[in-house]
C-alpha cells in the first residue's frame, strides 16, 4: 500500500502515542481517498488532535506509519508536508501581522510566490470573508474572524489533503455555513479532507465516511448509513426533564428495551429498541424517580445516537 | 535556507511593529547614555576643566619651565593647577578625584605630575629623565590630557636638548651658573645668557629640527592610556547591556511561536526544523547588529562618543552579538515558556552587565571582581574597545576571540537542546 495512483491521499496504520502514562492514541488506522471527506468523531480527550498531529508530521509516533500521496510522513519529512494543509484546533496566527501578511507568509513557506501568491491570497480572503479587513492587524479581529483566518491559512496552498481540527468552534452560524460550504466545494474539486468536530450535524452534512474514536481507538467506521445500521431498529429518544435526572437515568437503565442512557443538561438521551411500544414505560420510570418531564422527542437514529451508543457518552459541546 | 530567511523577515516585521525591540534596542540605551553623559561626563571641550597637582621634587630649571607650560593650560581655562608637597599627598588627591562619592570639600585632583629630584640636571646633561603621571581612573579624559601635556613638553625638551648642546653652549653655561629663578628675566637676543623660559624654549624649538632623541620618558602609572573616555564608555556599556535584551527578542521567537500556536504551522509546513532555528538566529543577529549600529552612529553624532577604528568596532560588535545570541539561546532552549525565558534572560543580562563593568568600571576595583568580569562578554567588549583606542587593530583580537568563543560554545549547547525542543508545540 501507499503507492501513488491507488486513489488514496492519506493512509495511516496502527498509530500509537503515549504521553507518560496516558495512552492518547492506541492503534488508530484509516484511509482517505481523493476527494473524500473523512470525519473523526470522538469525545474530549479521545485522541483526535494527537492522531492528526502524527498524520501531519508534527508529532513523532511511538509506532505506526503515515503515508500522504504515497510518501512516508514523519516529523522530518519535507515533501509530503507540501501536500497537506493543516488547520490547528487552537487559533494559530500572528496577531501583529495583517490577515494578508499572515496568508502571504505561510504561502511563501509552502513555496508560493509572485503574482500567483498575490491572487491566491485575495481569493482566499474573499472565501473567508475577510477581504474588507485584509490589511487590518489580526489582533483586532473578532474571535470568529480569527477562526476564519486560521482556516484560510490551511487551504491557501491548495493542498491535496486538508486537515481541519474542530474548525468551527466559536464561529457564528452564517460563517460556519460559509466554512462548511467552502469545504464541500474543495472536496468536490478533489481535495481530501480530514475533519474532526463535535458537531454531529456538520459530520452528517460533510463527511463521506466517519470514524468514531474513543480512548485512542477507532471503535466504528463507515458511511453514515453503515454506522446507523449498526444500531439496527433502535430509536433515539430525547426526554426533556428537570428534577432528579441522575435517579431517573438509573431507573430507566434497568429497562430491557433501553440500550443506552446518557444524562445531559436538561434531560436524558436514550437509545431504545422500539420506542413506540416502550415509551409509556420509560416515562413512568422517569417520573417515578423524581424527574418532571416536559417533552419527549423520538427520532430515527442518527450519528448522534451511534456516537452515544458506541462511546456511552453524550457529546459535550 | 529560503525558509530561514522567510521566517527571519517575518520576525523582523513583527518586532519592528510591536516596537518593544525598538525601545530596548535603541531608545533606552541611547536615552540613558545621553542622560548619564550629562550627569557624569563632559559634553564638549568647553565644559572640560581638569584639576592637576604638581609635585616638584626637583626644583630645577626644567621643572619650573614645565610648571609654566602648565600655567598656560590654566590661562586657557582648561585646567586648574596646584602644587602639593609630596607624592603621597598627590596620590591621595588623585584617588579622591576618582571617587565619585567623595565630597566637594575634600581636595582632589584628576591627575598629578611628579617631577623627581635631579630631573632638570638629567635633562640638561642629555641623560634619560623620568616624569611620572598619576592618573585618576574616574576621569580618563583628564588623565589623557595630562599625559599628552607631558609628552608634548618632553618632545620640546628633546629639541631644546639638541639645540642647547649644538648651538647654545653659552646659554647652557648660564643655566648651570644661575641654577635658579627664571621669573622676571626676559630673554634677550638669541644666545644671550639668562634663564630658560618657555618662550625661549619655543624659540629654540623653532630654530632647530626636532631631535629623534627623547630624553624624557613619561611613565603612566594609571595604565589608562588605552582607555575609553567616559562618554564612549557609557555609550558602549549601555549598548552592550541592552544588546542582551534586543537579541533575546530574536531567540525567544521560538517560544513565542509556541505560545501563539504558530509553531504547529511551522512544523506542519515543508520546512526543516533546522531552518526554523536558523531563521530565529538570523532574526537575533539582524536585531543585534541593527541596534548596535544605530547606537554607535547616534552616540557619535549626538554626544561625541569616540568608538575608534570602524573596522575594529565592527568586528567587536559582530562578536558581541554572536556571544549574546549563544548565551540567550541556551535560555530559550531550556525554558518552559516565553515568560520564564524572559525572566531568566533579564537576570542573566543584569548579572553579566554588572560583572562585566557596564554600569561602572568594575575592572578598576581589581582582584576577584575583575577576574569574574572575564567570564562576561560585556567586559571583553569594553576591553576590546579600550584596546582599540590608540592601539592597533590586532590588539582587539583577544577580545574578539573571547567573544566568539562565548558565542560558539553556548551556541553549540543551545543548538543541541533546540534540536529537541523545537518540535514541542506546548
Ligand atoms: N503534549 C501532551 N502531553 C501530555 N498529554 C497529552 C499531550 N497531548 C495530548 N495529551 C493527552 O492525550 C489525550 C488525547 O488528547 P487529544 O488532544 O488528542 O484529544 P482530542 O480528542 O483532540 O480532545 P478534544 O476534543 O478535547 O480536542 C488526552 O488525555 C490529553 O490529555
Ligand atoms: Mg483536540
Same domain flag for B293 and B170: no
Q: Is the pLDDT of residue A49 over 70?
A: yes
Instruction: Compare A101 and B374 and report the one with higher pLDDT.
Output: A101
Q: What is the mean pLDDT of residues A74-101?
A: 94
Give the total number of structural domains in chain B.
2
Tell me the residues of chain A between 1 and 30 that have a Cβ less than 8 Å away from chain B.
none
Q: Is the pLDDT of residue B216 over 70?
A: no
- In this complex, is the C-beta atom of A92 within 8 Å of any C-beta atom belonging to chain B? yes
Asked if the Cβ–Cβ distance from A81 to B17 is below 8 Å, we say no
A216 dihedral zone (left: phi>0; alpha: psi -120 to 50; beta):
left
- In this complex, is the C-beta atom of A316 within 8 Å of any C-beta atom belonging to chain B? no
User: Across chain B, what does the average pLDDT equal?
Assistant: 77
Same domain flag for B154 and B258: no
Residue A10: pLDDT band with limits 50, 70, 90: very high
User: For residue A212, which ligand has an atom nearest its CA?
Assistant: 1
Please list every residue in chain B whose beta carbon sits closer than 8 Å to the beta carbon of residue A79.
270
- In this complex, is the C-beta atom of B419 within 8 Å of any C-beta atom belonging to chain A? no
Q: Which residues are A19's β-sheet partners?
A: A22
A252-265 per-position pLDDT tens digit: 888 888 888 888 88
Listing DSSP states for chain A in one string gives: ---TTSSEEEEEEEEEEEETTEEEEEEEEEEEETT-EEEEE--TTSSHHHHHHHHTTSS--SEEEEEETTEE--TT-SHHHHTEEEE-SS----TTSBHHHHHHHHHHHTT--HHHHHHHHHHHHHHTT-GGGTTSBGGGS-HHHHHHHHHHHHHTT--SEEEEESTTTT--HHHHHHHHHHHHHHHHTT-EEEEEES-HHHHHHH-SEEEEEETTEEEEEE-HHHHHHHTTTEEEEEEEEEE-HHHHHHHHHTSTTEEEEEEETTEEEEEEESHHHHHHHHHHHHHHTTEEEEEEEEE---HHHHHHHHHSS----
- In this complex, is the C-beta atom of A75 within 8 Å of any C-beta atom belonging to chain B? yes
Query: In this structure, which residue's CA is closest to atom 12 in ligand 1?
Result: A24
Percent of chain A with pLDDT over 90: 50
Q: Tell me what pLDDT residue A1 has.
A: 44
For ligand 2, the distance from its centroid to the CA atom of residue B138, given in whole angstroms, is 63
Q: Tell me what pLDDT residue A91 has.
A: 93
Same domain flag for B67 and B178: yes
Asked if the Cβ–Cβ distance from A58 to B423 is below 8 Å, we say yes
Asked if the Cβ–Cβ distance from B270 to A90 is below 8 Å, we say no
Measure in Å the smallest separation between the Cα of B12 and chain A Cα atoms.
11
Residue A107: pLDDT band with limits 50, 70, 90: very high
For ligand 1, the distance from its centroid to the CA atom of residue B304, given in whole angstroms, is 59
Same domain flag for B339 and B279: yes
Same domain flag for B349 and B310: yes
Percent of chain B with pLDDT over 90: 28
Instruction: Compare A103 and A227 and report the one with higher pLDDT.
Output: A103
* C-alpha dist (Å) from residue A140 to A94, A100, A126, B371: 11, 14, 18, 52
Could you identify the atom of ligand 1 that is nearest to the CA of residue A46? 21
User: Closest chain A residue to B419 measured between Cα atoms?
Assistant: A76
Query: In this structure, which residue's CA is closest to atom 24 in ligand 1?
Result: A44
Q: Tell me what pLDDT residue A32 has.
A: 96
Same domain flag for B76 and B191: yes
Could you identify the atom of ligand 1 that is nearest to the CA of residue A52? 18
CATH number of the domain residue B190 falls in: 3.40.1710
Q: Tell me what pLDDT residue B87 has.
A: 84
Q: Tell me what pLDDT residue A267 has.
A: 87
Q: Is the pLDDT of residue B195 over 50?
A: no
Same domain flag for B265 and B189: no
Q: Is the pLDDT of residue B36 over 90?
A: no
Residue B298 resides in a domain: yes
Residue A192, Cβ neighbours under 10 Å: how many?
Answer: 27
* Cβ(A42) – ligand 1 distance below 6 Å: yes
Q: Is the pLDDT of residue B190 over 70?
A: no
**What is the Cα Rg of chain A in Å?**
22
User: Closest chain B residue to A74 measured between Cα atoms?
Assistant: B268
Q: Is this complex scored with an ipTM above 0.85?
A: no
**Domain final residue, candidates B211, B237, B267:** B211
B401-423 per-position pLDDT tens digit: 999 999 999 999 999 999 888 88
Same domain flag for B15 and B88: no
Same domain flag for B207 and B239: no
Residue A273: pLDDT band with limits 50, 70, 90: confident
Q: Tell me what pLDDT residue B164 has.
A: 42
User: Closest chain A residue to B1 measured between Cα atoms?
Assistant: A109
Residue A131: pLDDT band with limits 50, 70, 90: very high
Residue B125 resides in a domain: yes
Residue B180: pLDDT band with limits 50, 70, 90: very low
Same domain flag for B351 and B377: yes
Same domain flag for B265 and B143: no
Q: What is the mean pLDDT of residues B206-213?
A: 40
Q: Is the pLDDT of residue B128 over 80?
A: no
* Cβ(A46) – ligand 1 distance below 6 Å: yes
Residue B217 resides in a domain: no
User: Across chain A, what does the average pLDDT equal?
Assistant: 88
Could you identify the atom of ligand 1 that is nearest to the CA of residue A43? 25
**Domain final residue, candidates B153, B179, B211:** B211
Residue B62 resides in a domain: yes
**Domain final residue, candidates B178, B211, B244:** B211
Please list every residue in chain A whose beta carbon sits closer than 8 Å to the beta carbon of residue B1.
none
Give the closest of B13, B18, B270 to A81, CB-based: B270
Residue B221 resides in a domain: no
Q: Tell me what pLDDT residue B44 has.
A: 43
Q: In this structure, what C-alpha cell is assigned to residue A283?
A: 416515562
User: Closest chain A residue to B10 measured between Cα atoms?
Assistant: A105
- In this complex, is the C-beta atom of B18 within 8 Å of any C-beta atom belonging to chain A? yes
Q: Which residues are A98's β-sheet partners?
A: A137
Query: In this structure, which residue's CA is closest to atom 25 in ligand 1?
Result: A44
Q: Tell me what pLDDT residue B223 has.
A: 39
For ligand 2, the distance from its centroid to the CA atom of residue A139, given in whole angstroms, is 24
Asked if the Cβ–Cβ distance from A109 to B270 is below 8 Å, we say yes
Q: Which of A45, A164, A199, A311 to mutate to test the pocket of ligand 1 (most atoms within 8 A of CB)?
A: A45
Comparing A99-103, B229-233, B366-370, which segment has the lowest mean pLDDT?
Answer: B366-370
* Cβ(A53) – ligand 1 distance below 6 Å: no
Same domain flag for B284 and B162: no
Q: What is the mean pLDDT of residues B186-198?
A: 41
* Cβ(A22) – ligand 1 distance below 6 Å: yes
Q: What is the mean pLDDT of residues B235-255?
A: 90
Asked if the Cβ–Cβ distance from B267 to A58 is below 8 Å, we say yes
Q: What is the mean pLDDT of residues B25-40?
A: 79
Query: In this structure, which residue's CA is closest to atom 19 in ligand 1?
Result: A45
Host domain of residue B31: 2-43+227-421
B253-311 per-position pLDDT tens digit: 999 999 999 999 999 999 999 999 999 999 999 999 999 999 999 888 888 888 888 99
Asked if the Cβ–Cβ distance from A92 to B264 is below 8 Å, we say yes
Instruction: Compare A247 and B181 and report the one with higher pLDDT.
Output: A247
Q: Which of A43, A47, A315 to mutate to test the pocket of ligand 1 (most atoms within 8 A of CB)?
A: A47
Residue B171: pLDDT band with limits 50, 70, 90: very low
Amino acid at each position: 500500500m501507499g503507492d501513488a495512483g491507488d486513489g488514496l491521499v492519506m493512509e495511516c496504520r496502527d498509530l500509537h502515542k503515549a504521553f507518560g502514562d496516558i495512552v492518547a492514541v492506541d492503534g488508530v488506522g484509516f484511509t482517505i481517498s481523493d476527494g473524500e471527506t473523512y470525519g473523526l468523531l470522538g469525545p474530549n480527550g479521545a485522541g483526535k488532535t494527537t492522531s492528526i498531529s502524527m498524520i501531519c508530521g508534527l508529532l513523532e509516533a511511538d509506532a505506526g506509519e503515515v503515508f500522504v500521496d504515497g510518501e512516508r510522513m514523519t516529523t522530518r519529512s519535507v515533501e509530503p508536508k507540501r501536500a497537506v494543509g493543516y488547520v490547528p484546533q487552537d487559533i494559530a496566527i500572528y496577531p501583529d501581522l495583517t490577515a494578508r501578511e499572515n496568508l502571504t507568509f505561510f504561502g511563501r513557506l509552502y513555496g508560493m510566490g509572485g503574482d500567483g501568491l498575490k491572487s491566491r491570497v485575495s481569493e482566499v480572503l474573499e472565501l473567508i470573508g475577510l477581504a474588507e479587513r485584509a490589511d487590518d492587524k489580526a489582533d483586532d479581529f473578532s474571535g470568529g474572524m480569527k477562526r476564519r483566518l486560521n482556516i484560510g491559512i490551511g487551504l491557501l496552498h491548495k493542498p491535496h489533503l486538508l486537515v481541519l481540527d474542530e474548525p468551527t468552534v466559536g464561529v457564528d452560524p452564517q460563517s460556519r455555513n460559509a466554512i462548511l460550504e467552502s469545504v464541500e466545494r474543495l472536496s468536490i474539486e478533489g481535495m481530501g479532507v480530514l475533519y474532526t468536530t463535535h458537531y454531529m450535524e456538520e459530520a452528517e452534512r460533510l463527511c463521506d465516511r466517519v470514524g468514531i474514536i474513543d480512548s485512542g481507538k477507532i471503535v466504528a467506521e463507515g458511511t453514515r448509513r453503515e454506522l446507523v445500521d449498526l444500531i439496527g431498529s433502535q430509536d433515539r429518544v430525547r426526554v426533556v426533564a428537570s428534577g432528579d435526572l441522575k435517579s431517573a437515568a438509573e431507573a430507566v437503565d434497568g429497562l430491557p428495551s433501553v440500550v443506552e442512557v446518557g444524562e445531559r443538561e436538561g434531560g436524558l438521551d436514550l437509545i431504545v429498541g422500539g420506542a413506540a411500544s416502550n415509551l409509556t414505560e420509560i416515562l413512568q420510570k422517569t417520573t417515578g424517580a423524581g424527574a418532571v418531564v416536559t417533552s419527549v422527542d423520538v427520532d430515527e437514529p442518527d450519528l448522534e445516537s451511534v456516537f452515544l451508543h458506541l462511546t456511552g457518552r453524550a457529546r459535550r459541546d | 535556507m529560503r525558509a530561514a530567511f522567510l521566517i527571519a523577515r517575518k520576525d523582523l516585521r513583527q518586532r519592528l511593529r510591536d516596537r518593544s525591540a525598538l525601545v530596548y534596542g535603541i531608545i533606552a540605551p541611547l536615552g540613558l547614555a545621553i542622560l548619564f553623559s550629562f550627569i557624569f561626563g563632559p559634553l564638549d571641550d568647553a565644559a572640560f576643566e581638569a584639576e592637576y597637582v604638581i609635585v616638584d621634587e626637583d626644583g630645577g630649571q626644567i621643572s619650573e619651565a614645565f610648571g609654566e607650560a602648565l600655567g598656560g593650560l590654566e590661562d586657557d581655562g582648561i585646567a586648574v593647577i596646584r602644587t602639593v608637597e609630596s607624592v603621597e599627598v598627590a596620590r591621595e588627591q588623585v584617588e579622591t578625584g576618582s571617587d565619585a562619592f567623595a565630597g566637594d570639600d575634600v581636595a582632589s585632583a584628576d591627575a598629578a605630575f611628579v617631577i623627581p629630584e635631579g630631573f632638570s640636571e638629567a635633562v640638561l646633561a642629555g641623560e634619560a629623565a623620568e616624569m611620572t603621571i598619576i592618573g585618576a581612573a574616574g576621569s580618563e579624559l583628564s588623565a589623557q590630557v595630562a599625559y599628552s601635556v607631558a609628552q608634548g613638553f618632553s618632545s620640546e625638551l628633546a629639541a631644546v636638548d639638541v639645540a642647547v648642546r649644538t648651538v647654545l653652549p653659552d646659554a647652557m653655561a648660564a643655566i648651570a651658573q644661575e641654577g635658579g629663578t627664571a621669573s622676571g628675566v626676559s630673554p634677550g637676543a638669541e644666545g644671550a645668557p639668562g634663564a630658560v623660559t618657555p618662550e625661549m624654549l619655543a624659540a629654540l624649538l623653532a630654530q632647530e629640527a626636532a631631535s629623534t632623541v627623547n630624553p624624557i620618558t613619561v611613565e603612566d602609572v594609571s595604565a589608562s592610556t588605552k582607555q575609553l573616555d567616559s562618554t564612549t564608555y557609557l555609550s558602549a556599556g549601555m549598548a552592550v547591556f541592552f544588546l542582551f535584551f534586543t537579541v533575546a527578542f530574536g531567540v525567544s521567537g521560538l517560544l513565542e511561536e509556541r505560545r501563539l500556536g504558530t509553531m504547529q504551522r511551522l512544523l506542519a509546513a515543508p520546512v526543516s526544523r533546522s531552518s526554523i532555528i536558523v531563521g530565529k538566529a538570523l532574526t537575533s543577529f539582524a536585531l543585534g547588529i541593527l541596534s548596535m549600529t544605530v547606537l554607535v552612529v547616534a552616540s557619535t553624532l549626538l554626544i561625541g562618543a569616540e568608538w575608534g577604528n570602524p573596522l575594529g568596532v565592527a568586528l567587536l560588535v559582530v562578536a558581541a552579538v554572536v556571544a549574546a545570541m549563544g548565551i540567550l539561546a541556551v535560555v530559550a532552549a531550556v525554558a518552559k515558556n516565553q515568560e520564564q525565558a524572559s525572566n531568566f534572560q533579564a537576570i542573566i543580562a543584569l548579572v553579566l552587565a554588572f560583572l562585566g563593568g557596564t554600569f561602572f568600571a568594575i575592572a578598576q576595583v581589581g582582584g576577584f571582581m575583575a577576574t569574574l568580569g572575564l567570564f562576561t562578554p560585556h567586559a571583553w567588549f569594553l576591553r576590546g574597545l579600550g584596546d582599540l583606542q590608540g592601539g592597533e587593530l590586532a590588539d582587539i583580537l583577544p577580545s574578539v576571540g573571547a567573544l566568539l568563543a562565548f558565542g560558539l560554545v553556548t551556541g553549540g549547547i543551545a543548538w543541541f537542546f533546540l534540536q529537541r525542543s523545537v518540535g514541542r508545540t506546548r
